[in-house]
Amino acid sequence: MKRFLQAITLASCSLLLAACGNLKNSDLASNSTTTTSKAKKYETTSSTDGGYSVLLKKGVYKTSPISGLEATNYDNSVDESAMERGLIRVSKKVFSTKDYVIQEGQQLDETTVTNWLGRYSKSNKEGLNLKSNGKTGSTTRNPIILQQIMEEDFYVKSGSSYKLAGISISLGLNSVDYYTKTTDGSEYSTKISLAKRRAFGQKTANTIVSRLHAKKKLKNIPIMVGLFSKTDTDSLVGGTYFSYGTASANSSKISKWNSVNEKTQVLPTVDGASAVSASDESKFTSFKDEIEDYFPNVSGVTATLRYYDGKLAYESIAITTQFYGYLQVQSFAQTVMSRAKKYLGTSSPVEITISSVNDTQAVVAKETATGSYRMHIYGGN
């Protein structure tokens, strides 16, 4: 059914988006029940536990003008999501969720960032990527290291309004830079070592900090910069942060870099790779084996585990099934929940999705490490 509904909703996209263009000046306020009340200039949407409240503008969510910009044609949506999620997580170390509210970055515009992501050249003196050295060999050329820039802004309440009080920037740094020698020609790639990413990232962060602090309105705003390693395009898991540092008000550089310890792993491991945690792997294997024994139509069970600072922080399990029966899904989800309680760890939130090829059929999840499992069966009774 969802597919049918999607067809409708997509068909009506252009219509609704056209209408949306006018909504920025909408005068709906947060708690109004009619459309005649005045909008508050600023509002926030409440957050989940431990998250930031989000600052709206005239009741409307503000999207960042630089979202989606990349230096080269790069395709790994897993990275995009890990990069944003991680930037917010690392930001919490600098800008407390109690004192600050968040808004997608509004200080960098599309033209600026497009120039910054380019190579340095006579025609683009703003370019942050290394200038071309004229070579095209994998190991001899200057690779594109800076692939993407993200920004998040942090505000504090000031009287009845909010004022900008912090900026977080993420630099998405390529582990592998893909390139062609001629348009539409074969794809080549240059590997970039962590040491090279780190040195380039730190230098580039300082350049950005000094450019931003040169602006009068940003002079006094602390700027956190996170360094994010993008993965190769085949990777099933998103990239990870390895370092961050903060430039205080007026400072033109980051003097201290802190390391970030993030790992992401898919289970079962492939090619005999060893698990980050043998204990987590063994719990998952017990869970998987029992699930596969109880139902005849389970076609795959995989887990993605995220470790922050050496501890399991999130476990997401995807179960793919061949069936689509209502009773099967109900009964299977019940079994999955009881086995999750029995086998899976108690130190992280857990998300288990049960999907056929076309649709998510059910989700079983506990939202916090110590929370209760709950299940939702799509389509109800």
Encoding tokens for residue 150?
């993200």
> What CA–CA distance (Å, rounded) separates 167 from 164?
8
Per CB under 8 A, 8 contacts a second copy? yes
165-224: contacts with a second copy (CB under 8 A): none
Among 106, 114, 202, 335, binds a second copy (CB under 8 A): 335
Question: Strand order of the sheet with strand 257-259?
Answer: 42-45, 54-57, 101-104, 146-158, 161-173, 223-229, 240-247, 257-259
Contact set for a second copy, span 286-305 (CB under 8 A): 286, 289-290, 292-302, 304
- Residue range at the interface with a second copy (CB under 8 A); choices 176-184, 215-223, 271-279, 322-330: 322-330
> Binding of a second copy at residue 112 (CB under 8 A)?
no
Helix (H) or strand (E) holding 178: strand 176-180
Smallest gap, in angstroms, from Cβ of residue 42 to a second copy?
Answer: 14
Strands 223-229 and 187-191: unpaired
- Nearest CA to 332 among 348, 354, 352, 351? 354
Residue type, 119: R
Strand partners, 104: 152
Structure tokens at 143: 């690779």
Q: Give min distance, CB of 107 to a second copy, in A.
A: 16
- State the residue for tokens 């916090």: 368
Residues 251-280 that bind a second copy (CB under 8 A): 266
Residue 369 engages a second copy in binding (rule: CB under 8 A): no
Q: Assess 152 for contact with a second copy (CB under 8 A).
A: yes
Torsion angles phi and psi, residue 342, rounded to 5? -75, -40
Stretch of 130-138, 171-179, 185-193, 321-329 contacting a second copy, by CB under 8 A: 321-329
- Minimum Å gap between C-beta 118 and a second copy is 24
**What's the farthest any 2 CA atoms get from each other in the chain?**
67
- Binding segment for a second copy (CB under 8 A), chosen from 196-204, 221-229, 250-258, 371-379, is 371-379
Pick from 89, 196, 198, 253 the residue near a second copy by CB under 8 A: 89
- CB of residue 133 vs a second copy: minimum separation in angstroms? 35
Tokens, residue 294:
């109880």
Q: Which of residues 55-74 bind a second copy (CB under 8 A)?
A: 56, 59-61, 63, 67
Binding to a second copy, residues 337-366 (CB under 8 A): 338, 342, 349, 351, 353, 355, 357, 360, 363, 365
Instruction: Give me the least distance between CB of 117 and a second copy, in Å please.
Output: 19
Q: Where are the beta strands (DSSP E) in 36-127?
A: 42-45, 54-57, 101-104
